[in-house]
Structure 1
């Protein structure tokens, strides 16, 4: 644990921790939820929220900013990628904004990362964009959230490539094979491609996890693609959560077929809307999704230090 309170405003303190207590994690989650209700989008990703609990995790640091003893802000730094700069997220309680807390957290993140950082601005809010500029960060990635209605879904029968069959995921039995396939399918993707058994176990333990919505495509017993769907019950949203096709099976329409299978599953569950995330610089994936009726709903922006 380190104390980063030096040179801060009176009454403001930032403490850096390698792990949070259950009470601290609960307080951070409450702050994140309060901010999400105010902003209409969450400032801390699913992965970041999962990393609040479960003890220390290699490369993860938590920054708790208090004002007069009250939790006013939170930031997380993830330094797990062997090539890319550490990634960060931060949030300030809506009732305590405009007091320099965001800048203080951002400065603490820059100091902790050696001024080499990538920082998310989820939802692309103007305040987050301004903070990135104040911290001297440059925009370099745009992640789009796409949505489409599921009511009256009318998609052509999925056409699987020759020799490919689809079944659902079996927890425990399929873990290792899926993790290996995921690493290959997302070798270019620093977050998704690095998922571990612990990361998978975290998600399997969540109330939303349903193996009946986790589809695996096989050819001659080998996993060649997958579509993991997710249901956001409170928001009545179905998500194309993870969709991957291994390089050896690309170009044959498997991605489109798996997307259709997952969308039909979500529609049968009675969900009115589907969503997904895709990088703006992935024109092939964008073309597939737009061809299936998806349009841009909002964007997440990532900024980084010049290096």
Structure 2
């Protein structure tokens, strides 16, 4: 098993001694990045996106306050937690830093034990926040992306495809005769079958940009950016065969004695369409054709070519 990646802490301080002390203090537990001025801090924060920044306020080129303002103004860095470590130890200085959005404020000369404790606390909060963000985008039953996550990614990939001119493929997958399966074997068995199909679907989305999501009920949606019909169709045929290969008994299905799926998909050049709904609607029509054609099959359409492919 690959060990978990260490969280990253950026130390930005113009005093070399402070940088060395903090680096030695944190390095056993965290990946430490160093910056000797505000300009370096902004560059390294943008390039590495650390989990936490320990930021000196008084630096010669760009002050810590200005660094924080710029971090908060950029989408890539606006979420990074910042702890000010400063020789400015008046209450109004601390209040100013916190009002600007700093997570904490430590006065110099700092105590090593206090720094370690506060860094650990804020990095734990970062982990918890990311876990909650992850759970907000995951379907609890299948552990695939949920519909909210799919909608967000679909919008982003649609816009990206419109800019690049690359094709975008989308497929809808439906478990054949799933109501009959639940009626015959019970809903717990239905949940297990849905999870098994979801695992197969997720495994067939091999590229980082591909996405498998639960769209609703027993229906999954598969998004394949920069993928034309000639690439997508064999992927979906392999997925259909892999689901049948699970050999999950389904005596109530007219398609086969095991769990099978119907898949309808479409490929669209977004530069030829004004609406992302057209691609989804085309895939939905093909899913209907797959069901009407006897289930356990893949039907595909390339837009604007209105001929179906099966």
Higher-helix-fraction structure: 2
- Answer whether TM exceeds 0.5 for this pair: no
TM-score calculated relative to the size of structure 1 = 0.24
| Larger Rg belongs to | 2
Q: Which has the higher contact order (CA 8 A, sep 6+)?
A: 1
TM-score calculated relative to the size of structure 2 = 0.24
Higher-strand-fraction structure: 1
